[in-house]
Structure 1
Amino acid sequence: MNAPRADGSRLGVVVNPTAGAGRAARAGRRLTARLRSAGHHVHDLSAPTAAATLAGARRAVDGGALDALVVVGGDGTVHLGAQAVAGTATPLGIVAVGSGDDFAACLGLPCHRVTTAVDHVCAALDAGLVRRVDAIAVTCPGRPDRWVTGAVSAGLDAAVNARATAMRHRGRARYTLAALVEIAAFRAWSYSLLLRGVTDDGGLPLRTTDGGRAAVWQGRAAMVTAANTDRIGGGIRVAPDARVDDGLLDVLVAPVLTRAGAAGIFPLMFTGRHVRRPDVHVLRAREVTIAATPTPEPPGRAAPLPDAHGDGERLGPLPLTARVVPGALRVLVAPDDQGGARRRLTT
């Protein structure tokens, strides 16, 4: 996208009307009115289903019809927008008015404040500034590739996410309620991890393979999470030192085998103190393949692995490969943002 056009930018807007208990619908109307009054050409790409919305957004981006795509909602809406623009030159604007807004929060964007968030996007468009950040490319055998902006969860956090999503209660407390249920039924799962580009083993005993170009770990664990950002689930600090622009994944492995151990970890995750425990390891790598391994428990007694989730959205069963792609996503930022490197939209 070039610097702001004299005749206004061509903008696609995607609104999730159910996000934020109705805040997103109001924000979408306010945003569209503000953008059109400023002379921008706004195309409402929202459709009755997420699949139809994504298909329309992809057509617009791939056809060169947009100077930017702006999403209005929570992390699920950001996830949808990333499928359309990650790996392209089209930047993503975010009006964060969902229940969690973890990706926006880690970038220092305004969250849960409709007027401020709309003002921010408009100022970013006027200034023509973007921040380039990393995204996770996820490949799963037999399923379409996906982009994830925040974290890929493949353990207890994925099980909690799935249960929380299914709950009728939509407040932030649903993650805590879901965690209590999942911990009560917890039995550790068996994993095999293949890591490439490891820069820090986090104290986890790894075995090298592929001529030293990769490392392997096998064992039972409560959590395996590949994080691009520091938080998930509305502020759970799953990987508190993760950075969205360092070209690395923070891979959290918690080889905790008991319910008491799992129950002890979860409360600490709200502040990130769980990583201080000796049974929690955070590795740094460019890529990780996560697979299930046969369990030593008798058939019928082994706990089935939960489906993996990314940005709170279901990715499907293991195995999968998560690979960080540096600078894959361009995010619109306002001139007063303090969240990292910016550059004008000249490419």
Structure 2
Amino acid sequence: MNAEANAGARMINARRLQSRRKIVQRRRLALVIVAGLLILAVVGALALISRLEGNLTVARLQSSAEAMINGAQVGSSASNVLVLGSDGRDTGEGKYGQDTGTRRSDSMMLVHIAGGNTRIDAVQIPRDTVLLRPSCDDVGFGSFAGGWGMINSAFNYGENCSVRAVEALTGLRIDHVMSLNFDGFARVVEAVGGINVCLEHPLQDKHALLDLPAGEQELGGEDALALARVRYAIGDGSDISRMANQQMVMAAIAQRATSAEVLSRPDRLYAFVDAITSSLTVDDGLSSVSQLAGLALRVNEVPNTEITFLTMPWQPATANSARVEPSADAQRLWAALAADQPLIFSRDTDAKEAAKGGKPTTLDKEFEGADETQNASEKIDTVKRTAAAPLC
């Protein structure tokens, strides 16, 4: 019996040992699989980063502007980013009009990110603004000797020349610059799954390829671009008259891009980032994914209620009333941004009302509801809209 018991015990021990070996082998196999997956994930992430960085086009800047911009750090201090919408028509198979061989900025926005990431003030600069433009070195688009002209024509000499023109106009340092063409804008809207807007009246404009009904609706990329571009069907057909619609479109993009519909969908989030990087031209200080991510994280910290889109206060240009120049309110605006101070508005001018064709007036008038505790010389009167504004 003892011999049989010992033989049985040895058999049980052998089975246990074999079972333990199998468990160890399975654990080792699992560790190998996990390690392999981690390696694949890292390699995949590096490949994605490489792809995204490869998407970017980097703008050359002349030495003085390059030194100024490259010295800017993507940290928590106040920053000014110049965002340009190019009217280049060499894309889109001619659907945006004929390519004339020149480059103009169809839209121009100075984005001020406050220190501590507490707020963002995005100032639209009318493309018909005239000024004494500074000279620009040749960085691939020819040189410019300087002279009077519209600010949008500076882009014909590259992002570098637009940076110098805006710095001359505002007296502010531009820390970074990025530009986006028509196709890129449409791709960004498509990548986030479209945007929601609300129109008080139907809009049709063959020049902008626009045909939209009144009311709340969702727009794809092409229609969102058309709404941002439309001029002749609203107000007096000027660049100023369309800025309220541009504010609505930009606010809608901000709302959708920061919504759970995008952030909780890896496919949409990647498509959004891929669309942006594929369409952007940036300065060297934003030429890596980590640098762009740092800027994006700053923007993401700012609540939509503290993101304000506004139009540069303006007046008819002295030399040509068909063009515009900064008004006294604009000087107060630049001073507030330079000091990184919150903007004080003389009235709550709704961008939707401005879209009907009304123009903001000067500070010579009293406005009902204005904060009487503030000196009138500190208040700014312009058309504005927050990213949290309701659709209708």
Point out the structure with the larger helix share: 2
Same-fold call, TM cutoff 0.5 = no
Point out the structure with the larger strand share: 1
TM-score range, shorter chain: under 0.3
